[in-house]
Structure 1
Amino acid sequence: MSHALNDTITWGMMLRKLPSIAKALPRVVRGMKAANVKDPNQSCGLGWSFEQATLRNPDGPALLQGDVLLTYAQVNQWANRIAHHLSAQGIRKGDVVAVFIENRPELLVTILAVAKAGAISALLNTSQTRDTLVHSLNLVTPAAIIVGEELVPAFSAVRERVALEPARAWFVADQDTYRHPGNAPDGFINLMAAIVDSPADNPVTSQQIFFDDPCFYIYTSGTTGLPKAGVFKHGRWMRSSASFGMIALNMGPDDIVYCTLPLYHATGLCVCWGSAISGASGFAIRRKFSASQFWNDVRKYRATTLGYVGELCRYLVDQPSSVDDNRHRVTKMIGNGLRPGAWAEFKTRFAVDHICELYAASDGNIGFSNILNFDNTVGFSLMTWELAAYDHDSGQPLRDARGFMRKVARGEQGLLLAKIDDKAPLDGYTDAQKTAKVVLQDVFVKGDRYFNTGDLLRNIGFGHAQFVDRLGDTYRWKGENVSTTEVENILLQHPNISEAVAYGVEVHNTNGRAGMAAITPAESLATLDFSELLAFAREQMPAYAVPLFLRVKVKMETTGTFKYQKTRLKDEGFDPGKTGDDPIYAWLPGTHTYVQVTEQVLAEIYDGKHRY
């Protein structure tokens, strides 16, 4: 709570910002106009805004990776060829095209082409395999799929379980396919070879897209276990790209964004790439984040702007100091999850002037951004929001005797609720029942409707908020949402485990929460082979979801309604001094088994000897 007091924004702090507010006002007005497309007959969206950026800066860099540099004109024409080809193959407005490619220019060009054709990209998480991948594909009944060579094995393993015509499986070689299309394996059509004779002019379909048309499906961890597909509409693309690119960052053709975040998530795709397109700026990407190469890349691409999540910043701060730490052109960064503890250190050491921390849920209807460059805040939102009192155990908002919810006082933490109205519509999920679950009715007055974000925030004054934590059955680790139910279901498939409860626990000096599971052996502790159990978990689930800690329980305590007592398990964490007779095991970095946590191992974890 001490942070809430230190970070409260005062009148004096606001007055010092007046000159910068006055300077930003014309830009904010322009940005709000660009963000709020009201006319149902006005062309808009991803394809349209990329074409506008191409008119402004045709020869400027649009996409950079390694030695590949493509201008706006080149990327636009490449995407046009793909869009014309997709349309010629019968892909129509509203069809779903699953896209399964790792971070590289081909991924973005493909997404752009699908949008120009009027279809919807289903952005598959590239670390998904097996049942989760099958679920994600069948959830959206795709008309086609475009697979990168690097993910062909993962797709081929489940292909028989997905209803897709063989002629609708396109392949993209893992190389610079702008110049060399490569060769497709049997059973796939080589997309980049097939488009050679397609026209390069803007397709008429990109003019026939309006604010209410879906642009992509972005998968979020469902509290029921398997991913949900959130609908992201073209109108929301306009709001996101103008709000962050024009209003928050003031992007222009001389800017270059460096982004190492996965582009199947909204932060990388909509916030970072959207900001670049909004300014007709360059967008430099990397296959996977590398702490040791990060600043070298920044210098190589002459980046002015960074995309981040909190964990990424912590990894960079953990790197040995160098005289080159502040030798770069970066003046601003945008992202989320930077904790107050690392904020000042990052800003000072790497000499980044503006940390534009934001808050937005890809499946929600609200966005905050730190436009005024205060410290330790997600900034303010132009939408209507409230922080409501909630029940600590159930995570549900509390209602008074009259049935209404109570707003918390300034400085207190509360559950963030975002008002659903014309200015902030809720696009929801592909599953209407899942959407209904997150909509609250009659919240503060009869007839009002609010989106329940499931996140705890604190009001620090002048419309500014601070992110506190997320509720519910997901937690965040390594920049990814982890579904506890999904982890539990996989552990329960192991023959020697009869019960499993997964939850996130805090590890000192890390962002987010590390995975922990309480398990009950089917027979006895002696039957558990911990290296085999770890190998099983690593094979069945993405790396970020594998539990780092295990608590072995003879019997699982439940509530009167047979719910597991997760709150207590979370509070006791992985300290054997608090867990009674239950032994605790940890997977230490660089090892291949779980080892028992002794006082010494616990002290090593607390002292940061093991870097998670």
Structure 2
Amino acid sequence: MSIQLTPKEIEHLTMLGKLLEDLTDPSTYISLGMSIEKWAEKIPNKVGLLFKDKSWTWKSINEETNKYANYFASLGLKSNETVAVMMENSPEFLFVTGAISKLKAICSLVNTNLRKQPLIHIMTISEPRYIVVDNDCLSAVQEIQSDLKVKNNEIFVTNKNSKHDFVNLPNELGTSPITNPKTVDTFDIGDVCSYIFTSGTTGFPKAVMIKHSDIGVFYAKGLHLEENDIVYNPLPLYHSHANQTWRAVLSTGVTMALRKRFSVSQYWKDIKKFNANATVYIGELPRYLLNRPESEYIPGPLKKMFGLGLRKDIWEQFQSRFQIDHIWEIYGATDVGVPLSNVDEVPGMIGRNILPTIEIIKIDPDTGEFFKNEEGFYIKCKSGEVGMLISQIANYSEFTLYKNPDKTKLKVLRDVFEKDDAYLKSGDLLQLHDDHWVSFADRFGDTFRWKGENVSTLEVESVLNSFPAVQMCNTYGVSIPNTDGKAGMAAIKLESKIDFDRDRFSTYVSENLPPYSIPIFLRIQDELEFTGTHKLRKVNLRKEGYNIEIVKETIYYWDNSSKNYKAFDKEIYQDLLNDKLRV
């Protein structure tokens, strides 16, 4: 069926076509460090970075980056070796990652919320030669120090005056040259720029291989960046969305205003302070901002936004109240790319399915089985139906995604519409509407989204099952009124011979899980329910949720202020339904 494209869609597809061509042409690849050098030469005195009360020109960004690059080169860091970077947002994060890319080494970008087993897993699979950590994350690395293959003199701390047994990096940079090193500027198709980690359905995070291709162009076009734009970036740089925003800045030579962590109370003050007219978002942020009272900093200079996960009702309220000219919504993921873009700005939609390589196929939401026709091939969704988005893999024999090839195979469907074809599973459920419009429906299966993060139920279960009093648990996501995403809930079967110490369990989850992965609700069960194939059944648990009128078993809820699980009763339940309890 032919699709009548809008002018903006035609322009978008033209850009995508050029980007896809460049992905297979290593002569077009450009590293972070090469981009920094380019702007340092072309517009040396233009401000490229704002952070707190300081600014850096492109010349000074390059010089700071060179200090790190020359130092690591003097240590013998080679192309394709890995450096794990565990740092909060800061100029130093950008200097370090830019420096590593100048040597064509690989940055393994570590989620700063990880602790203990998940962190050990990340450090193990990325196989770093060195680790660079800041003061905020130092204790997390110190906690797992004995489990690392990296020696103390191969771990570098970016802050002065920190107590540790590692290398104080600022002291080492004192005599490091600020001139460009022998920046590597030739690439092969398989060369990796960075590992960005994604939680999946098979347990702990997987390392997605990000290449040196100039994919910042996509975000630059998505934000319609122009020469004098200032892009406000409050999202964590270890995440793909924020990281690609920096690459968009490097692609265009505009200015980025960076914040260490998102702050709902300081957001509009920052926008005015930095005179930022563009920003990126995830769906939860606009909701948080809408819930804030009026501010003296509104209206401000912010006029355009680019992101994902924005619901229609929030979109329309936010755009009206804060006088935003443009909101461009996309659908994407680190390991899927960005197959859908709402370039025509229709609230509530993530774009139209206009790419011939993208399909939405029917799936049983309870069992996870894909529906097939009489010939054994998969069935495409019709308007009004919900299914999983899949994207075609053009050359499967050369396809790479995760660092672990076995994990890549689990993400791929074969013989979908014809013999030997291959498609990449998104893991997300989308709804198809009339005229090829698509909206987001839900995360599927063993992951859910909470506080802007994808949570792997198997990862959470692995941690909870290691607590002595827990015999087995089943983790799933549940909806909470007036919130985006799904909150974690765990049905737990306890060991009969061990007392369940709630305080000790609360401390245990705080120390072993990132804040966004901590289950908001616990449901204590005598027996867990299994499917006929001996898998834990989640369907009924999701339906019943924490409804205390239905569930007669003991339920606890996570009180974030005390960092403790407390009894969940009818009064608390009503407070939650009436938006009087924040979780």
Tell me whether the two structures share a fold, i.e. TM-score over 0.5: yes
Residue 232 of structure 2 corresponds to which residue in structure 1? 258
2:305 is equivalent to residue 333 of structure 1: yes
Q: CA deviation at 1:437?
A: 0.6
Distance 1:592 1:454, change over 3 A: closer
2:16 is equivalent to residue 41 of structure 1: no
Instruction: Indicate the SS of the match to 1:499.
Output: strand
Residue 351 of structure 1 corresponds to which residue in structure 2? 323
Partners in 2 of 1:30 and 1:575 — Cα distance? 48
Partners in 1 of 2:37 and 2:420 — Cα distance? 41
Which region of structure 1 is more displaced relative to structure 2, 461-470 or 157-166? 461-470
Residue 290 of structure 2 corresponds to which residue in structure 1? 317
Counterpart code for 2:283:
G
Residue 176 of structure 1 corresponds to which residue in structure 2? none
Partners in 1 of 2:98 and 2:434 — Cα distance? 40
Partners in 2 of 1:166 and 1:586 — Cα distance? 40
Distance 1:600 1:499, change over 3 A: same
2:185 is equivalent to residue 207 of structure 1: yes
Counterpart code for 1:50:
I
2:200 is equivalent to residue 222 of structure 1: yes
Instruction: Indicate the SS of the match to 2:119.
Output: helix
Which region of structure 1 is more displaced relative to structure 2, 582-591 or 126-135? 582-591
Residue 79 of structure 2 corresponds to which residue in structure 1? 93
Deviations 1:552-583 (A, max 9, x none): 1111121222222101101110002222x322
Distance 1:422 1:280, change over 3 A: farther
Residue 198 of structure 1 corresponds to which residue in structure 2? 176
Alignment equivalent of 1:459, drawn from 428, 432, 435: 432
Partners in 2 of 1:32 and 1:447 — Cα distance? 25
Instruction: Indicate the SS of the match to 2:485.
Output: coil
Distance 1:357 1:56, change over 3 A: farther
Counterpart code for 1:262:
P
Alignment equivalent of 1:119, drawn from 105, 119, 139: 105
The answer to whether the 8 A contact 2:83-2:129 is kept is yes
Instruction: Indicate the SS of the match to 2:49.
Output: strand
2:571 is equivalent to residue 571 of structure 1: no
Distance 1:32 1:195, change over 3 A: farther
Deviations 1:36-71 (A, max 9, x none): 414333442333333334444322222211112111
Instruction: Indicate the SS of the match to 1:601.
Output: helix
Distance 1:92 1:592, change over 3 A: closer
Alignment of 1:26-425 (within 5 A): 29=14, 33=18, 36-37=21-22, 38-173=24-159, 182=160, 185=163, 187-235=165-213, 238-239=214-215, 241-245=216-220, 247-270=221-244, 272-322=245-295, 324-325=297-298, 327-380=299-352, 384-421=357-394
Residue 523 of structure 2 corresponds to which residue in structure 1? 551
Instruction: Indicate the SS of the match to 1:153.
Output: helix
Counterpart code for 1:219:
F
Partners in 1 of 2:577 and 2:118 — Cα distance? 34
Q: CA deviation at 1:539?
A: 2.0
Alignment equivalent of 1:438, drawn from 391, 405, 411: 411
Q: CA deviation at 1:492?
A: 1.8
Partners in 2 of 1:425 and 1:302 — Cα distance? 45
Distance 1:416 1:595, change over 3 A: same
Q: CA deviation at 1:495?
A: 2.3
The answer to whether the 8 A contact 2:115-2:511 is kept is no
The answer to whether the 8 A contact 2:572-2:581 is kept is no
Alpha-carbon RMSD across the aligned residues, in angstroms, is 2.5
Counterpart code for 1:600:
E
| Alignment gaps of 5+ in structure 2 | none
Partners in 2 of 1:30 and 1:437 — Cα distance? 30
Partners in 2 of 1:307 and 1:512 — Cα distance? 18
Distance 1:76 1:553, change over 3 A: same
Partners in 2 of 1:373 and 1:52 — Cα distance? 33
Deviations 1:495-518 (A, max 9, x none): 222221111100011011001111
TM-score computed with the length of structure 1 as normaliser: 0.89
Deviations 1:151-170 (A, max 9, x none): 22211221221111443222
2:415 is equivalent to residue 429 of structure 1: no
Partners in 2 of 1:432 and 1:129 — Cα distance? 25
Distance 1:423 1:379, change over 3 A: farther
The answer to whether the 8 A contact 2:153-2:167 is kept is yes
Counterpart code for 1:585:
Y
| Alignment gaps of 5+ in structure 1 | 1-9, 174-181
The answer to whether the 8 A contact 2:193-2:211 is kept is yes
Instruction: Indicate the SS of the match to 1:575.
Output: coil
Which region of structure 1 is more displaced relative to structure 2, 407-416 or 189-198? 189-198
The answer to whether the 8 A contact 1:516-1:547 is kept is yes
Which region of structure 1 is more displaced relative to structure 2, 509-518 or 481-490? 481-490
Alignment equivalent of 2:454, drawn from 470, 481, 488: 481
Q: CA deviation at 1:463?
A: 4.9
Instruction: Indicate the SS of the match to 2:208.
Output: strand
Counterpart code for 1:214:
V
Which region of structure 1 is more displaced relative to structure 2, 342-351 or 488-497? 488-497
Distance 1:196 1:594, change over 3 A: closer
Counterpart code for 1:610:
L
Counterpart code for 2:257:
A
Residue 4 of structure 1 corresponds to which residue in structure 2? none
Distance 1:471 1:390, change over 3 A: same
The answer to whether the 8 A contact 1:589-1:610 is kept is no
The answer to whether the 8 A contact 1:256-1:276 is kept is no
Which region of structure 1 is more displaced relative to structure 2, 436-445 or 157-166? 157-166
Partners in 2 of 1:425 and 1:287 — Cα distance? 38
Counterpart code for 2:260:
R
Instruction: Indicate the SS of the match to 2:88.
Output: coil
Counterpart code for 1:111:
T
